[in-house]
Each structure stands twice: as C-alpha cells, then as structure tokens.
C-alpha cells in the first residue's frame, strides 16, 4: 500500500492508538519511569510504548517502507541514505511537557519522499486534537470525535490588528527576542502565542498564527509531520535563506527555521 489517500486514514488511526496508550500512563501512573539519554533529554515508558505501537502499526501497514524513529534511530547513514521513502516518527514530541502534565505533547508520524515530508499526522492526545495533511489531500484538523475541518493558513495580513507570532515557551532566547523586536518595528504590533512541541507549527497551519521563528536546536523527527501539515495548508517551513527544510540528512539536526503563512511578510529583513 503506497497511495497517500489510502495511507492517511490508517496513519491517523495508528497515531490515535499510540495516543490512547500514552494517556493511560499519563492519567493513571504516578511514576513515568523516566530515564535520560546521552543528550540529557528525558525518556519515559510512555515514549517506549508509543514507539512500539507505531512501529508495529506501520510495519503491518506498509512493510516495504523503512522506519526512522527518535527511539530507534540507530540506522547508519550509509544505509538510510539510500532510502527514497521512509517513515519519520517521534513517539512523543514534548516529553518534558508530558512529564510536566501540561498536555502540550504530540505523536508525530511523517512519510518522507525524496527529502520532503509528503504526509504528516500530528496527534495531541491530551487535547484530543489531531492534525493531518498529505500531498493532493489538503490539511485537516479534528477535535475529539468531531468532523475533520479543512485548514488553511492566513494568506493575508490585511485587517489584522496584530501579526500573531509563535514564541516558544521554553526556547525564547536572545536571537528570538531580537527578531521579534525588529519584526514589530517593521510591521507594527505583534501578538505572541505559545504552545509546546509541534503544536507550534500547527498554529500557523490553522491560521491562528502567521509566523513561527525557531532559533534553537530541533531534530528532523520534531518537525517532519507538522511540516507536511503546514505545506498542505498553504504555508512553508524553510531555513533562514527561505529554502524548504530537507530530511534524512547525515546529521539529523535541523537548521534554524521559520514557519510562515506564505503571505509575503518580509521576515528575512528582520534577521541580523
């Protein structure tokens, strides 16, 4: 099975199954059995269980497509460099948010083809909200068990009292502050909105924000799924030169990037 239209609902189902397992731990377990990786990022039993569910589900769905997951990323570059198509997975994006029990964590599943995410599902189980998008299918948001609604970026700033900019709650360093100051000086009032994990990208996809600048480290599995959603909603996820982020690099660290609604806001002029 490889047609995106056929794959998409099945991937949404897998993400929700993983989310249900995560929430069972989130709601009922006092001890998340947290350990720490070499980079000091946390790992819980919920991460591992979610990864197990997703990997099993994707292997059953499309056994011919390899999987690269944050929790099983040991595949050496010489091997994965030959992958033209692969799944890129973050079982829990925002483990710190999970541990804090603030609800702002997601399950991320992306299908990458020739370096670009062509399908993405972002499921926020604590919010019972799911975002998805795929080439030729558009982008959608579903709240709870309700009807999935199409999503589209803002497209124009005309009539807005203020440009809504996503400012990371945990990573608003001096580069971000300086960028926002220049953006406000050039375009008038800005309104800062915050969210955790890949929900920040989804705020642009849904039209709730017009821009999300990220001056800080992220990994490919942090962004790929939401990247697909943003693009299918009409936006863009690019490096600071305006070139779309690419995936399956030898170094899986993303460059600094900007998520924009594609409406022509000159954010490049606000870079140092």
Domain boundaries, the chain: 4-150, 163-270
In this predicted structure, the answer to whether residue 72 has a pLDDT above a threshold of 80 is no
- Best CA proximity match to 93, nearest among 160, 40, 36, 42: 42
| Residue 25: CA count within 13 A, CB half-sphere | 19
For tokens 């056929």, name the residue.
6
In this predicted structure, the answer to whether residue 142 has a pLDDT above a threshold of 90 is yes
Q: Which of left, alpha, beta for 215 (phi over 0: left; psi -120 to 50: alpha)?
A: beta
The angle formed by the CA atoms of residues 196, 48 and 130, to the nearest 5 degrees, is 40
DSSP bridge pairs for 236? 260
pLDDT at 119: 98
If you classify domain 4-150 with CATH, what class do you get? alpha beta
Question: What is the Cα–Cα distance from 177 to 184, expressed in whole angstroms?
Answer: 11
pLDDT at 89: 97
For tokens 């924009």, name the residue.
260
Banded model confidence at residue 20, pLDDT cuts 50, 70, 90: very high
What are the tokens at 35? 């350990």
Banded model confidence at residue 71, pLDDT cuts 50, 70, 90: confident
For tokens 């993400």, name the residue.
15
pLDDT at 156: 66
Average pLDDT across the chain, whole number: 91
For residues 213-240, give the mean pLDDT: 96
| Cβ within 8 Å of residue 130, ≥6 positions away | 12, 15, 16, 121, 122, 123, 124, 141, 142
Least confident of 10-14, 76-80, 85-89, 94-98: 94-98
pTM of the model: 0.94
Question: What is the Cα–Cα distance from 106 to 259, expressed in whole angstroms?
Answer: 18
State the DSSP H helix or E strand holding residue 42, giving kind and residue range, or none if neither: strand 42-43
pLDDT at 1: 41
Q: Which fold has domain 163-270?
A: D-Maltodextrin-Binding Protein; domain 2 (3.40.190)
The angle formed by the CA atoms of residues 171, 255 and 224, to the nearest 5 degrees, is 85
In this predicted structure, the answer to whether residue 148 has a pLDDT above a threshold of 50 is yes
Contact present, 130 and 121 (Cβ < 8 Å):
yes
In this predicted structure, the answer to whether residue 33 has a pLDDT above a threshold of 60 is yes
For residues 189-200, give the mean pLDDT: 90
pLDDT at 161: 78
User: Would the CATH topology of 4-150 be identical to that of 163-270?
Assistant: no
Name the residue with higher pLDDT: 149 or 167. 149
Banded model confidence at residue 32, pLDDT cuts 50, 70, 90: confident
pLDDT tens sequence across 105-133: 999 999 999 999 999 999 999 999 999 99
Contact present, 155 and 265 (Cβ < 8 Å):
no
- In order of 178, 187, 205, 212, 267, the CA distances from 240 in angstroms are 15, 19, 19, 12, 9
Q: Say how many C-beta atoms besides its own lie within 10 A of residue 31's C-beta.
A: 8
In this predicted structure, the answer to whether residue 163 has a pLDDT above a threshold of 70 is yes
Contact present, 80 and 248 (Cβ < 8 Å):
yes
Question: What is the Cα–Cα distance from 165 to 173, expressed in whole angstroms?
Answer: 15
């Amino acid at each position: 099975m490889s047609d995106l239209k056929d794959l998409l609902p099945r991937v949404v189902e897998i993400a929700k199954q993983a989310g249900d397992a995560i929430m069972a731990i989130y709601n009922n377990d006092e001890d998340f059995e947290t350990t720490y990786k070499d980079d000091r990022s946390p790992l819980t039993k919920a991460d591992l269980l979610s990864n197990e569910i997703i990997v099993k589900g994707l292997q059953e769905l499309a056994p011919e497509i390899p999987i690269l997951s944050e929790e099983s990323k040991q595949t050496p570059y010489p091997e994965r460099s030959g992958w033209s198509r692969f799944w890129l997975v973050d079982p829990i994006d925002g483990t710190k948010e999970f541990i804090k029990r603030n609800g702002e964590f997601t399950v991320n599943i992306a299908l990458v083809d020739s370096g670009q995410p062509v399908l993405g599902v972002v499921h926020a189980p604590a919010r019972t909200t799911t975002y998805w998008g795929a080439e030729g299918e558009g982008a959608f948001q579903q709240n709870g068990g309700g009807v999935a609604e199409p999503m589209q970026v803002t497209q124009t700033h005309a009539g807005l009292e203020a440009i809504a900019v996503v400012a990371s709650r945990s990573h608003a360093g001096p580069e971000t502050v300086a960028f926002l100051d220049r953006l406000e000086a050039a375009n008038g009032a800005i309104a800062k909105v915050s969210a955790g994990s890949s929900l920040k990208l989804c705020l642009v996809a849904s039209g709730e924000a017009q821009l999300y600048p990220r001056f800080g480290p992220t990994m490919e599995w942090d962004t790929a799924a939401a990247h697909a959603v943003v693009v299918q909603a009409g936006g863009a996820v690019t490096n600071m030169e305006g070139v779309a982020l690419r995936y399956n690099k030898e170094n899986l660290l993303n460059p600094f990037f900007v998520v924009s609604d594609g409406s022509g806001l000159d954010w490049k002029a606000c870079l140092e």
